[in-house]
Chain A
Amino acid sequence: DTGVSQDPRHKITKRGQNVTFRCDPISEHNRLYWYRQTLGQGPEFLTYFQNEAQLEKSRLLSDRFSAERPKGSFSTLEIQRTEQGDSAMYLCASSLGGSGGHYNEQFFGPGTRLTVL
């Protein structure tokens, strides 16, 4: 169990550029979540996958944000036409999935810190 990994750890980009972040969940976990955290706040849920199906995306911040999990393993989060307000930490989490108990416990990756200049 190597934990949740995210890449890159830091990204600096200019306003208007597109960026893509990758998340590799814990290997046996079938649920994957993306969150955004701004300074001084708790993480804010963005979207959620069960295997390759994106079951919740209404909380994505705008249509510039999209996420995929094509083979039910790793996931990518893309932000198009970045704005300075997109600067934040983007966190990925995974859980086993299933009903009840520790199947719902979420484990987080180290995050990708995005700075938009």
Chain B
Amino acid sequence: GIQVEQSPPDLILQEGANSTLRCNFSDSVNNLQWFHQNPWGQLINLFYIPSGTKQNGRLSATTVATERYSLLYISSSQTTDSGVYFCAVKEGNDMRFGAGTRLTVKP
């Protein structure tokens, strides 16, 4: 099956800093999503981005499907951005998740 690797596994930032999270996948995909899992476990949809670039406020994402990676950019980070960020790709009927990047934003 498709392998999904996320980096870095852990990231600690000072409030206001920018960051880039990476997701590599081992085969071509036609469905890729980024999620933020809050401290209560809720997975919040950030982007549905099988290809191209999207922006939503301080967050943006780029997927280069031909090179099998996606990037999530967080600008001017806030403490509420803390949590785990997951990349997931669709393979057949299921979504394959990476192990996540745990982001901690310190005030």
Contacts and interface: CB of A to CB of B under 8 A. Distances in A.
Interface stretch (B11-19, B57-65, B74-82, B97-105): B97-105
A72 interface: no
5 contacts: A33-B94, A48-B93, A91-B43, A105-B33, A106-B88
Interface of B: 4, 30-31, 33, 35, 40-43, 45, 48, 86, 88, 90, 92-100
A37 B100 CA distance: 12
Given A43-B97, A59-B94, A108-B35, 12 more contacts: A42-B98, A43-B43, A45-B94, A45-B95, A56-B92, A105-B31, A105-B45, A108-B43, A110-B41, A110-B42, A111-B42, A113-B41
B64 to A, nearest CB: 19
